[in-house]
Amino acid sequence: MVATSEELLSDLRRKVTQKFPLYAPYLAALEASIREKAIVVELGTRSVNVSRDPDDNLVIETALIGTADYIISGDKDLLVLKEHEGVKIVKPAEFVRLVSS
C-alpha cells in the first residue's frame, strides 16, 4: 500500500511548479492518480523529530501513520537514518531490487 498526506501532496505541487514548470499542466492528473492508488493519511496524531531536515519529518510521520514498510527516497537526510520504527528507508534502485527478488 502506498501512503501519502495532504502535506506531501502540497509539497509535490510546489516542487513540480518550481523545479519542473513544463510539467505543471499535468499536476492535476498526477495528483488524481496518486489519490486513486494511495491512502491519504491525516498528520498530527504522531510527533516525529528524527531527521536533520525538519521537513523530512513529515515523510516519516506519513509512513508511520500509513503503516508503511518502506520510505523510497533519494533524500540524503532520510537515507542516513536507514530505518525508523520498523520503516526501512531505501533508494529507489534498492527498493526495485528488493521487490524483484
Q: What is the DSSP string of 16-47?
A: HHHH-GGGGGGHHHHHHHHHHHEEEEPPSSS-
Give residue 1's pLDDT band: very low, low, confident or very high (50, 70, 90).
confident
Q: What is the pLDDT of residues 24-63, one digit of tens each?
A: 999 999 999 999 999 999 999 999 999 999 999 999 999 9
Cell of 32: 488524481
The answer to whether the beta carbons of residues 4 and 14 sit under 8 Å apart is no
Which residues span the domain enclosing 40? 2-100
Instruction: Look up the pTM and report it.
Output: 0.90
Count of residues making up the chain: 101
Domain count, the chain: 1
Residue 21 pLDDT greater than 90, yes or no:
yes
Asked if residues 66 and 39 have their Cβ atoms less than 8 Å apart, the reply is yes
Environment class of 32 (CB within 10 Å of its CB; exposed 0-12, middle 13-18, buried 19+):
exposed
Tens digits of per-residue pLDDT, 63-77? 999 999 999 999 999
**Rounded-to-integer distance, Cα 32 and Cα 47, Å:** 28
